[in-house]
Amino acid sequence: MGLFALAAWFWLLGFRPLNPFSRKRPVTLSRLSNIPPIVLWAWEQPEDLQFLDPARFGVAYLAKTCSLDSDDVAVRPRLQPLRVADGTVVIAVVRIETKPSEKPAYSDVQAEKLVSVITDAARGRGISAVQVDYDATSSERAFYRHLLVRLRAALPPREPLSITALASWCYSDDWITGLSIDEAIPMLFRMGVDTANVRRLLESHTYSQAAPARNSVGISTDEPLPWIPPGGRVYIFSPKPWTPESVQKAVNDIGRQ
């Protein structure tokens, strides 16, 4: 592949700026470069995605759900079947939940158990990357930051690590810059109190993202947006099981042919 074509491919995936003459490429770039420009989330429902073209689509599936309970972690595995075509890039997603009534300790014991659960998911057959889904409150950020440092150290050096990110973390309350991650995915759906503000920014094409979130975006098929920041990787959620028709519609809606 020629230098111009290679640079164009990286631009399509949203990685910029990139100096093609640099002798040492950023580690983040090399970790994420195998993930396709469109990734479908497969949540807790039966999914048969064998019809997807592995060259165009990746799949990020809910592998496990962890609930912080006092000084322990309750782990719930995926209970629904998932089928993908050979060669599909598959990302294991681990959801972390907390309940104020349980008063989590946010201890080293819990962090170590979470690291063990997440690295175990990353070692699953055919897994190419791992993603953490944790809507950390302000009081939980120190624990989350500490967890990600330990997780990055426990994963293989070239294993991609991404997180989902509340929309506010990416435009008005940036605390994620500098985290031990390769990618943060702004969740531009189910935004709650941030919905009106974010939609106004999108309507004016002025949505500004924190550094880790500039090359990706997360959307949902049931919440159309006035504008989607171009040029990056798009993660798409569907509240219903995916079908060839719903995938094609989602691709058309985001203008990716």
Domain that holds residue 108: 28-253
Give CA separation, 203 vs 60, 63, 120, 196, 227, in Å. Answer: 28, 35, 41, 10, 6
Question: Does residue 6 lie in a domain region?
Answer: no
Question: Does residue 186 lie in a domain region?
Answer: yes
Question: Does residue 15 lie in a domain region?
Answer: no
| DSSP-assigned beta bridge partners for residue 38 | 57, 234
* Cα distance between the two ends of the chain: 22
Question: Does residue 17 lie in a domain region?
Answer: no
Place of tokens 């090399």: 30
pTM of the full predicted structure?
0.86
Query: Using CB atoms within 10 A of its CB, is residue 102 exposed (0-12), middle (13-18) or buried (19+)?
Result: middle
Give me the helix-helix angle, 108-122 and 141-154, nearest 10°. Answer: 50
- The C-alpha atoms of residue 118 and residue 164 are separated, in whole angstroms, by 15
Question: Does residue 11 lie in a domain region?
Answer: no
Question: Does residue 10 lie in a domain region?
Answer: no
Q: Which long-range contacts (CB under 8 A, 24 or more apart) does 138-143 make?
A: 140/98, 140/106, 141/175, 142/106, 143/106, 143/110, 143/111
- The C-alpha atoms of residue 57 and residue 151 are separated, in whole angstroms, by 26
Q: How many domains does the chain have?
A: 1
In tens digits, what is the pLDDT along the chain, a chain of 257 residues? 443 443 433 333 333 333 322 233 344 457 899 999 999 999 999 999 999 999 999 999 999 999 998 899 999 999 999 999 999 999 999 999 997 777 899 999 999 999 999 999 999 989 999 999 999 999 999 999 999 999 999 999 999 999 999 999 998 899 999 999 999 999 999 999 989 999 998 999 877 779 999 999 999 999 999 998 887 999 999 999 999 999 999 999 998 65
- The C-alpha atoms of residue 62 and residue 236 are separated, in whole angstroms, by 13
Question: Does residue 209 lie in a domain region?
Answer: yes
- What is the pLDDT, as a whole number, of residue 85? 97
CATH number of the domain that 42 lies in?
A: 3.20.20.80
Question: Does residue 18 lie in a domain region?
Answer: no
- The C-alpha atoms of residue 223 and residue 206 are separated, in whole angstroms, by 19
**159-200: pLDDT as tens digits:** 999 999 999 999 889 999 999 999 999 999 999 998 999 999
- What is the pLDDT, as a whole number, of residue 253? 92
